Amino acid sequence: MSDSLGKVFTITGFGESHGKLIGILIGGCPAGLAISESYIQKELDRRKPNDNATSTPRREDDKVEILSGILNGYTTGAPICLAINNKDTRSVDYDSLHLIPRPGHADYTAYIKYGGFGDYRGGGRFSGRITAGFVAAGAVARLLLETIGIDIFAHTAEIGGIAAKSQTLDTIKQNRNDNSLYCADSIAAAKMMTALEQASASGDSLGGVIEGIAIGIPAGLGEPVFDNLDGDMAKALFAIPAVKGVEFGAGFNAARVKGSQNNDPLEIQDGRVISKTNNAGGILGGISNGMPLIARIAVKPTPSIAKKQHSVNLKEMTETEIEIKGRHDVCVVPRAVPVVEAMMSITLCDFALRAGIIARVIK
């Protein structure tokens, strides 16, 4: 089923950017997990646009409502449906665009796939807004992972070519919430902010790189040959609109060094097998090795830009110009940081349940 992700802990999405709601349905969640709307809300709030000039002026409460699966504050074992109602929709912004696909968006591909019947308002089902549902589901996954000591956090590693300096995982975890960009390097963050303002002023947009980190994963999660931990996590991350690349550990840099440099020597530490380096990014043979899982995700610049662009009219099959009005983020990287955490949490939670290391009834 193409609307679902996962095998035991599953999420199924529905809803559109300018429809009634964004919904997410969670299957396979063990019974007995204490969970509240306010907890999920806190995670959702991390995904909201900031008040600075580079964020979309669309202001949604993103208020989550639990529709099913929770009774008296505990999960019941039945599917959990979470709804985030849409409010601030100005679909009129999009009506004129229906037949003129915005470059870099899914407008044209959706038009072809759905024969013109697709919901075109604000990207419809392809809008970044669907990731609100991902984050809501990720909040549930995060709670389940906490029961076995897995912690997940992401940060902005790069925006517009400006890279945060390399730091220890502890420092990153500590500092990444210091600014609205979720960048653990405040000096780089200031430069990124300047770049964002410049891009905004020139009617343009920026992309960047997010690094997602998961610690506390026991060795042994992941299934050969096809349901690899890396393969399934990559698939989950590519579901985030605007993602164009995913790498683990040394990633593309591993392709440029020698085996003797890339192999992580094994050691014993406190009676456990660890590796001295972590070029593998915590995964070997598609299975976790107990080291921190490190994923890096390339996010393209927001395709909605104020600058005039070249496009076509699909009805008349003529070339034309397009000017996008709407309301958009200059860069989606910061808002995608909690989304990356969500997709990593959801994937790991699925594998942990598949491995039987999360209890079927939480107590």
Q: Interface residues for a copy of itself in 138-167 (CB under 8 A)?
A: 158, 160-161
Tokens of 309: 């662009």
Q: Are 159 and 196 in contact (CB under 8 A)?
A: yes
Q: Are 148 and 215 in contact (CB under 8 A)?
A: no
Q: Does 212 bind a copy of itself (CB under 8 A)?
A: no
Instruction: Candidates 6-14, 54-62, 139-147, 182-190: pick the segment binding a copy of itself (CB under 8 A).
Output: 6-14
Instruction: Candidates 36-44, 50-58, 173-181, 248-256: pick the segment binding a copy of itself (CB under 8 A).
Output: 248-256
Instruction: Give the DSSP letter of residue 255.
Output: G
Q: Does 319 bind a copy of itself (CB under 8 A)?
A: yes
Give the whole-angstrom CA distance, residue 346 versus residue 9.
7
Give the whole-angstrom CA distance, residue 133 versus residue 136.
5
Give the whole-angstrom CA distance, residue 200 versus residue 204.
6
x-or-dash pattern for a copy of itself, window 14-53, by CB under 8 A?
xxx--xxx-x-x-xx--xx---------------------
Q: Does 108 bind a copy of itself (CB under 8 A)?
A: yes
Instruction: Please count the other Cβ atoms lying within 10 Å of the Cβ belonging to residue 52.
Output: 14
Q: Does 67 bind a copy of itself (CB under 8 A)?
A: yes
> Is the Cβ of residue 170 or residue 265 nearer to a copy of itself in the bound state?
265
Instruction: Give the DSSP letter of residue 191.
Output: H
> Is the Cβ of residue 174 or residue 198 nearer to a copy of itself in the bound state?
198
Instruction: Candidates 38-46, 49-57, 106-114, 144-152: pick the segment binding a copy of itself (CB under 8 A).
Output: 106-114
Indicate which single residue of 212, 241, 334, 338 sits in contact with a copy of itself (rule: CB under 8 A).
241
Residue with tokens 């009676």: 271
**Minimum distance from residue 247 beta carbon to a copy of itself (Å):** 3
Instruction: Candidates 42-50, 140-148, 206-214, 334-342: pick the segment binding a copy of itself (CB under 8 A).
Output: 206-214
Instruction: Candidates 56-64, 142-150, 166-174, 270-278: pick the segment binding a copy of itself (CB under 8 A).
Output: 270-278
Residues 329-358 that bind a copy of itself (CB under 8 A): 354-356
Q: Does 118 bind a copy of itself (CB under 8 A)?
A: yes
The helix or strand, by DSSP H or E, that contains position 146, with its residue range, turns out to be: helix 131-146
Q: Does 122 bind a copy of itself (CB under 8 A)?
A: no
Indicate which single residue of 36, 42, 88, 112 sits in contact with a copy of itself (rule: CB under 8 A).
112
> Is the Cβ of residue 174 or residue 266 nearer to a copy of itself in the bound state?
266
**Minimum distance from residue 212 beta carbon to a copy of itself (Å):** 14
DSSP state string for 99-138: TSPPTTSSHHHHHHHTTT-S--GGGGGGSGGGHHHHHHHH
> Is the Cβ of residue 108 or residue 170 nearer to a copy of itself in the bound state?
108
Instruction: Please count the other Cβ atoms lying within 10 Å of the Cβ belonging to residue 21.
Output: 17
Report CA Rg, the chain. 21
Indicate which single residue of 89, 228, 345, 347 sits in contact with a copy of itself (rule: CB under 8 A).
228
**Minimum distance from residue 61 beta carbon to a copy of itself (Å):** 18
Taking CA atoms, 272 is separated from 40, 148, 275, 321, in Å, by 35, 17, 10, 61
> Is the Cβ of residue 112 or residue 174 nearer to a copy of itself in the bound state?
112
Peptide bond into 225 cis (omega under 30): yes
Indicate which single residue of 38, 51, 95, 117 sits in contact with a copy of itself (rule: CB under 8 A).
117
Task: Categorise residue 65: left if φ over 0, alpha if ψ from -120 to 50, beta otherwise.
Answer: beta
Q: Does 310 bind a copy of itself (CB under 8 A)?
A: yes
Instruction: Please count the other Cβ atoms lying within 10 Å of the Cβ belonging to residue 337.
Output: 28
Taking CA atoms, 93 is separated from 33, 98, 121, 331, in Å, by 42, 10, 8, 20
Q: Does 209 bind a copy of itself (CB under 8 A)?
A: yes
**Minimum distance from residue 306 beta carbon to a copy of itself (Å):** 10
